[in-house]
């Protein structure tokens, strides 16, 4: 008996997993059988839609982890800050010239001094800096409220890059040479600071971010009702337009960043750095600069996700919890896998929506199911679906 178990360990393990999966499916099937088909279809659709934004959040975490091995616990708060900056530029009719000027100056100085402050004294760099400041400020303040999209996009872009570079410069870069654990703790500390700053600047009240509005009526979109399938589904499935738009934009951003990583020289350098930092340095890549760019890209991704999530469900400090729910998605997809981030995000979105469908009163979908998935992933397949297998070397 023991010999049999030892010889067929792998097959037996998979058999056990299979039995567990069948049991869970039977249980869920029984639970779902009581629901209308329309509700199930609606849950499926909204799960995928919500999961798209989760995938975008997961991508930001994966990018940083690939490049530097740091798992960014501050990502949720970066989302909040990005979304709040967008809100500030989007809803305020008169942008203060001083504020816009300060933001663009800080951003340009941060960008130009990423390599060294000495850079600012050499060659055309001071001119580039000045020009950048003027262009950014102009883009942020030009025109009135009808230019709000331009203001908000420029402002969020500048703010996100400033945030990413500042976090890298003042929190992560001083830790070079320390164990990775220290850097992970540092992201926790950064999360606390961003939490406090957001709360001071924007308060704890939920803000209305009217991004996804019907241009004709200037109010929220009417949800799509799938009337055509009424007979098949025994009811009407309702899909929220905000979620559809957020999903599509998240997909566009996702594809854009995959193309960025694959076809631009900066993206190539980032991939090289993530493979092996020393090797990248030895072929002449400036690893320090590339890490800074990685943080800026991640902060930008976080801001986009924050705007999409804020526009779809409302902007408040609670958005930071989305990033906590995304951690299971990141691990599920694999810490190093970009496509895994999207698939993991969609799976977690589905898990969350079905959890809410089965038990809407007890926060099963948001507070329990994703973490159960996390435990399962850690026990069964710690490297995730598409992650690299880690090999220990002594």
Query: Using N-to-C axis directions, what is the helix angle for 287-313 and 37-68, rounded to 10°?
Result: 160
When asked if residue 259 is in the footprint of other proteins (CB under 8 A), the reply is no
The pattern of x and - marking residues 127 through 166 that bind other proteins according to CB under 8 A reads: ----------------------------------------
CB contact at 8 A, 231 and 296: no
Cβ proximity to other proteins: between 129 and 353 the closer is 353
When asked if residue 363 is in the footprint of other proteins (CB under 8 A), the reply is yes
Residue of 222, 235, 228 whose CA lies nearest to 41:
235
- Measured from the CB of residue 37, what is the shortest distance to other proteins in angstroms? 28
Q: Of 174-182, 242-250, 281-289, 297-305, which part binds other proteins (CB under 8 A)? A: 174-182
When asked if residue 360 is in the footprint of other proteins (CB under 8 A), the reply is no
Residue 207 has φ and ψ, to the nearest 5°, of -100, 145
Cβ proximity to other proteins: between 129 and 274 the closer is 274
Which residue is associated with the tokens 């193309």?
259
When asked if residue 175 is in the footprint of other proteins (CB under 8 A), the reply is yes
When asked if residue 378 is in the footprint of other proteins (CB under 8 A), the reply is yes
- Among residues 199, 208, 264, 282, which is the contact residue for other proteins, using CB under 8 A? 199
Query: Using N-to-C axis directions, what is the helix angle for 97-112 and 125-141, rounded to 10°?
Result: 150
Extended strands (E) in the chain: 224-225, 238-239
When asked if residue 192 is in the footprint of other proteins (CB under 8 A), the reply is yes
Q: Count the alpha carbons within 13 Å of 178 in the hemisphere toward its beta carbon.
A: 14
CA dihedral (136, 142, 146, 152) in degrees, to 10, reads 20
CB contact at 8 A, 348 and 51: yes
Burial of 200 (0-12, 13-18, 19+ CB in 10 A): exposed
- Among residues 24, 255, 372, 388, which is the contact residue for other proteins, using CB under 8 A? 372
Cβ proximity to other proteins: between 16 and 372 the closer is 372
- Among residues 12, 130, 189, 259, which is the contact residue for other proteins, using CB under 8 A? 189
Q: How far is CA 290 from CA 37, 119, 183, in A?
A: 50, 17, 17
When asked if residue 190 is in the footprint of other proteins (CB under 8 A), the reply is yes
Cβ proximity to other proteins: between 49 and 326 the closer is 326
For residues 46 and 288, give the distance between their C-alpha atoms in angstroms, rounded to a whole number. 41
Q: Of 19-27, 196-204, 215-223, 346-354, which part binds other proteins (CB under 8 A)? A: 196-204
- Among residues 160, 186, 211, 347, which is the contact residue for other proteins, using CB under 8 A? 186
- Measured from the CB of residue 229, what is the shortest distance to other proteins in angstroms? 34
When asked if residue 207 is in the footprint of other proteins (CB under 8 A), the reply is no
- Among residues 126, 174, 210, 314, which is the contact residue for other proteins, using CB under 8 A? 174
When asked if residue 193 is in the footprint of other proteins (CB under 8 A), the reply is yes
Tokens of 392: 């220990």
When asked if residue 204 is in the footprint of other proteins (CB under 8 A), the reply is yes
When asked if residue 93 is in the footprint of other proteins (CB under 8 A), the reply is no
For residues 123 and 339, give the distance between their C-alpha atoms in angstroms, rounded to a whole number. 41
Helix (H, G, I), strand (E, B) or coil at 212: coil
Residue 224 has φ and ψ, to the nearest 5°, of -75, 130
- Measured from the CB of residue 364, what is the shortest distance to other proteins in angstroms? 8
When asked if residue 71 is in the footprint of other proteins (CB under 8 A), the reply is yes
Residue of 344, 380, 367, 368 whose CA lies nearest to 20:
380
Size of the site for other proteins (CB under 8 A): 45
Taking phi first (over 0 means left), then psi (-120 to 50 degrees means alpha), and beta for anything else, what does residue 177 get?
A: left
Cβ proximity to other proteins: between 129 and 316 the closer is 316
Binding site residues, other proteins, CB under 8 A: 71, 88, 170-171, 174-175, 178, 180-182, 184-186, 188-193, 195-197, 199-204, 324, 327-328, 331, 362-363, 367-368, 371-372, 374-375, 378-379, 382, 392, 394
């Amino acid at each position: 008996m023991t010999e049999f178990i030892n010889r067929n360990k792998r097959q037996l393990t998979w058999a056990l997993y299979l039995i567990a999966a069948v049991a869970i499916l039977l249980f869920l099937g029984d639970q779902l059988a009581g629901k209308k088909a329309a509700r199930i279809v609606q849950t499926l659709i909204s799960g995928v839609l919500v999961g798209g934004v989760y995938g975008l959040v997961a991508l930001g975490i994966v990018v940083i982890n690939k490049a530097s091995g740091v798992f960014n616990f501050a990502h949720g708060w970066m989302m909040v800050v990005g979304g709040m900056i967008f809100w500030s530029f989007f809803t305020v009719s008169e942008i203060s010239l001083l504020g816009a000027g300060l933001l663009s100056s800080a951003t340009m100085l941060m960008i130009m001094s990423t390599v060294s402050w000495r850079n600012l004294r050499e060659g055309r760099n001071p001119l580039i800096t000045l020009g950048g400041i003027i262009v950014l400020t102009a883009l942020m303040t030009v025109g009135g409220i009808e230019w709000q999209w331009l203001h908000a996009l420029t402002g969020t872009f500048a703010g996100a890059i400033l945030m990413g570079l500042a976090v890298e410069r003042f929190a992560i870069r001083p830790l070079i040479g320390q164990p990775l654990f220290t850097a992970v703790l540092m992201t926790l500390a950064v999360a606390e600071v961003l939490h406090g700053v957001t709360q001071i600047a924007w308060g704890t009240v939920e803000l209305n971010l009217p991004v996804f509005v019907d241009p004709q009526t200037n109010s929220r979109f009417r949800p799509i009702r799938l009337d055509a399938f009424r007979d098949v589904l025994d009811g009407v499935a309702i899909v929220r337009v905000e979620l559809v738009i957020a999903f599509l934009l998240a997909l566009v951003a996702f594809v854009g960043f995959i193309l960025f990583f694959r076809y631009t020289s900066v993206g190539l350098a980032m991939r090289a750095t993530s493979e092996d930092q020393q090797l990248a340095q030895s072929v002449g890549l400036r690893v320090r600069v590339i890490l800074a760019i990685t943080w800026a890209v991640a902060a930008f991704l976080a801001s986009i996700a924050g705007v999409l999530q804020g526009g779809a469900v409302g902007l408040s400090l609670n958005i930071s919890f989305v990033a906590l729910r995304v951690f299971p998605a990141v691990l599920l997809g694999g810490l190093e896998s970009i496509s895994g981030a999207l698939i993991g995000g969609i799976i977690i979105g589905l898990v969350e929506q079905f959890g809410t469908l089965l038990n809407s009163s007890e926060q099963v979908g948001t507070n329990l199911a994703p973490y159960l998935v996390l435990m399962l992933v850690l026990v069964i397949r710690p490297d995730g679906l598409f992650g690299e297998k880690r090999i220990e070397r002594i």
